[in-house]
Amino acid sequence: MRTSIATVCLSGGLVEKLHACSDAGFDGVEIMDADLIGAMESPEEIRALCARLGLSIDLFQPFRDLEGVADDVFADNLRRAEAKFAVMERLGADTILVCSNAGTATIDDDDVAAAQLGALADAAAKRGIRIAYEALAWGRFVDDYRHAWRIVQLADRPNLGVCLDSFHILSRGHDPAAIEEIDGDKIFFLQLADAPALDMDVLSWSRHHRLFPGEGDFALTDFLAHVLRAGYTGPLSLEVFNDTFRQTDVVRTAGHARRSLTWLADRTAAANGWTDDLLGEPQVARGIDFIEIAGADLTAVDETLERLGFAFGGRHRSKRVRLWTAGEARIILDEQVRDETPRLTGIGLMVDDADAAVDRAVALGAPAAFRRTYAGEQELRGVASPDGTVVYWSDRPADTSWITEFEGGSPGSGACESGVVDHANVGYRWQDFDEAVLFASSVLSLTTQSSADVPGPQGLVLSQVMRTEDGVVRLPMNLAPPTAPVPDRHVAVRCDDVVAAARAARAAGLDFLRIPENYYDDLAAQFDLDPDLLAELRELDLLYDRDGSGGEFIHFYTPTIGGVFFELVERRGGYDGYGAASAPVRLAMQRRASASA
């Protein structure tokens, strides 16, 4: 698999972009005309730089509004094209992208379009240049790749083929199966982009909201399989217009982009039984092994967990690390850091083959995490996620796992013995979010479940749930507006009887996040609740939700300690959500608590 990327995907100047593409391991680039125009370096310098960096210039793009026009306009278009061909010769680029006419086309006639594209191809042929004709989703008369292919066949020139772009095809809902009817050697170029399912004009969607493969809602493995089955042998190239990636660090975004292609090639190969491009088998998590919280002084967390009904699981025999458990929910407190603010810093996942999981993660470009291991201790391998949280994988049974390294735990299991980690809720900075979605989908093999905008007192918070199919691992990912604070992280532990757990915690002196009386008045209005249950919810600051099929969710929150807080939840009758309806109340109360702290 050869990989390429359009320079328009990245921030900065052209030279910076090229360095970043090379560092990220791309084999080539598509040079965006505007990036060259805005560069002080001559085409010859760019050509030489690409050669030194080991980047081929796979495409020069775009050339707009060529075909379907009157003769005099076409004559001027040919003149424009000759000038660009001259630039391409200086660059050493041999393929140019010609988009279907979206602006100046006046003639809806395939013969005219074919004749004009043919004339362009003949002019290009004299310089050894190939034309890749692409149907823009908003082309005036040509907006479907099948139509572009018909015109290319009509024109019938050896140096004229099509460019396929997943966005232009999938955004319009066009069936990609017909790609297999195109001669593979007439597919001159392939551009890949994912995108969220949005209901808006396709031009704005394309210009602002494209994503790297694995981050959106397009069925890109199917798409790519059609292209490869057609016999396409050129590079897989990314063309992603995205307002965020235009701003994020160019080196990091290039690396992120490159990983998306590794993932896509792997998943496409796996889905089709091809052995090329296959990474190791994805290791779908069978459970959450532990959650790690780090901070210089975690006494307040100890206190909260004890009152919450966790049992003390002991101290690590050689490190300043403690373990708390509630049934199968294990929380590790790590004081081996200087950071004063307690934070959620690690997640352990249980898989069938931990080494395979790590190897796959590293193959996907995730940096291996360093963890100092002493003699006789279990080596726990992991990688850093884009925001720095470390993910560890373990495949050992409990009696040989890292748990055995903890000593001096209290006997007994605590009040919360039915516990299991229900979900870990992670807040991201705006510049890390999309990359984190790709990390969750590619490295953690999670899938997107749902997303919602939660109104908070400082703006809308986007909450996107990534999870295993069976719901054993659930990671709701939160993104606040770039100008608001990054949402705090929290761990939600599920138990069989949250009311009893809340009562016990209250008796143990736990502070609860206080919930307004008005909230309970609203619950009564919404759900016609049993008065005893309502009284209990009200008394214990419990939150409640019910889904369409009658499933129920009861939960409560501890106050925030530094950058982390805890939630205890109970799911009844197959409730599968996260109480999003009560999230605005939670956010309002947390803000109130932090203002008075």
| 128 or 481: CB nearest a copy of itself | 481
| 298 or 589: CB nearest a copy of itself | 589
- State the DSSP string of 357-400: HHHHHHHTTPPBPP----TTSPP-EEEE-TTS-EEEEE-S-GGG
490 is in an annotated binding site: yes
Q: Measured from the CB of residue 457, what is the shortest distance to a copy of itself in angstroms?
A: 5
Q: Which residues pair with 545 in a beta bridge?
A: 553
| 375 or 525: CB nearest a copy of itself | 525
Q: Measured from the CB of residue 134, what is the shortest distance to a copy of itself in angstroms?
A: 20
| 30 or 266: CB nearest a copy of itself | 30
| 322 or 546: CB nearest a copy of itself | 546
Q: Measured from the CB of residue 289, what is the shortest distance to a copy of itself in angstroms?
A: 35
Q: Measured from the CB of residue 194, what is the shortest distance to a copy of itself in angstroms?
A: 19
Show the CA angle centred on residue 375, arms to residues 373 and 376, nearest 5°.
105
Q: Are 558 and 484 in contact (CB under 8 A)?
A: no
Residues in contact with a copy of itself, counted by CB under 8 A, come to a total of 60
DSSP 559: P
| 217 or 407: CB nearest a copy of itself | 217
Which parts of 130-189 interact with a copy of itself (CB under 8 A)?
none
Pairing of β 287-294 and β 329-334 = parallel
567 is in an annotated binding site: yes
423 is in an annotated binding site: yes
Out of 340, 483, 531, 549, the only residue in the binding site for a copy of itself (CB under 8 A) is 483
Separation between Cα atoms, residue 83 and residue 61, nearest integer Å: 13
- State the DSSP string of 53-108: HT-EEEEEEEE-S-SS--HHHHHHHHHHHHHHHHHHHHHT--EEEEEPPSSS----
42 binds a copy of itself per the rule CB under 8 A: yes
DSSP 496: S
252 binds a copy of itself per the rule CB under 8 A: no
- State the DSSP string of 288-328: EEEEEEE-S--HHHHHHHHHTTPEEEEEESSSSEEEEEETT
CA 36 to chain centre: 30
Out of 36, 225, 323, 475, the only residue in the binding site for a copy of itself (CB under 8 A) is 36
DSSP H/E element including 134: strand 130-134
- CA 382 vs CA 151, 352, 391: distances in Å: 52, 15, 5
Which parts of 190-249 interact with a copy of itself (CB under 8 A)?
198-201, 204, 207-208, 243, 246-247
| 69 or 190: CB nearest a copy of itself | 69
Other Cβ atoms within 10 Å of 427 Cβ, number = 22
539 is in an annotated binding site: no
Out of 39, 227, 333, 561, the only residue in the binding site for a copy of itself (CB under 8 A) is 39
* Closest C-alpha to 382, from 448, 285, 258, 279: 285
Which parts of 401-440 interact with a copy of itself (CB under 8 A)?
430-431
458 binds a copy of itself per the rule CB under 8 A: yes
| 186 or 252: CB nearest a copy of itself | 252
Q: 384: which 2 tokens?
A: 């850093």
Q: Measured from the CB of residue 81, what is the shortest distance to a copy of itself in angstroms?
A: 8
CB-neighbour burial class of residue 532 (10 A; exposed 0-12, middle 13-18, buried 19+): exposed
Separation between Cα atoms, residue 333 and residue 166, nearest integer Å: 46
Q: Are 431 and 248 in contact (CB under 8 A)?
A: yes
DSSP 560: P
Q: Measured from the CB of residue 210, what is the shortest distance to a copy of itself in angstroms?
A: 13
Out of 25, 49, 78, 84, the only residue in the binding site for a copy of itself (CB under 8 A) is 84
| 54 or 516: CB nearest a copy of itself | 516
Q: Measured from the CB of residue 595, what is the shortest distance to a copy of itself in angstroms?
A: 9
Separation between Cα atoms, residue 359 and residue 365, nearest integer Å: 10
Q: Measured from the CB of residue 252, what is the shortest distance to a copy of itself in angstroms?
A: 14
215 is in an annotated binding site: no
- Beta-carbon contacts of 4 under 8 Å, excluding residues fewer than 6 positions away, are 26, 27, 28, 29, 30, 56, 58, 59, 235, 236, 237, 238
Q: Measured from the CB of residue 231, what is the shortest distance to a copy of itself in angstroms?
A: 34
* Site pattern 503..542 for a copy of itself (x: CB under 8 A): -----------x-xxxx-xx-xxx-x--------------
- CA 597 vs CA 57, 134, 285, 303, 513: distances in Å: 57, 59, 38, 18, 13
Enumerate the known binding-site residues for Mg(2+). 423, 490, 567
Enumerate the known binding-site residues for a divalent metal cation. 134, 165, 191, 239
Enumerate the known binding-site residues. 134, 165, 191, 239, 423, 490, 567
Q: Which residues bind a copy of itself (CB under 8 A)?
A: 11-13, 33-34, 36-43, 76, 79-80, 83-84, 86-87, 198-201, 204, 207-208, 243, 246-247, 430-431, 453, 455, 457-460, 481-484, 514, 516-519, 521-522, 524-526, 528, 584-585, 587-589, 591-592
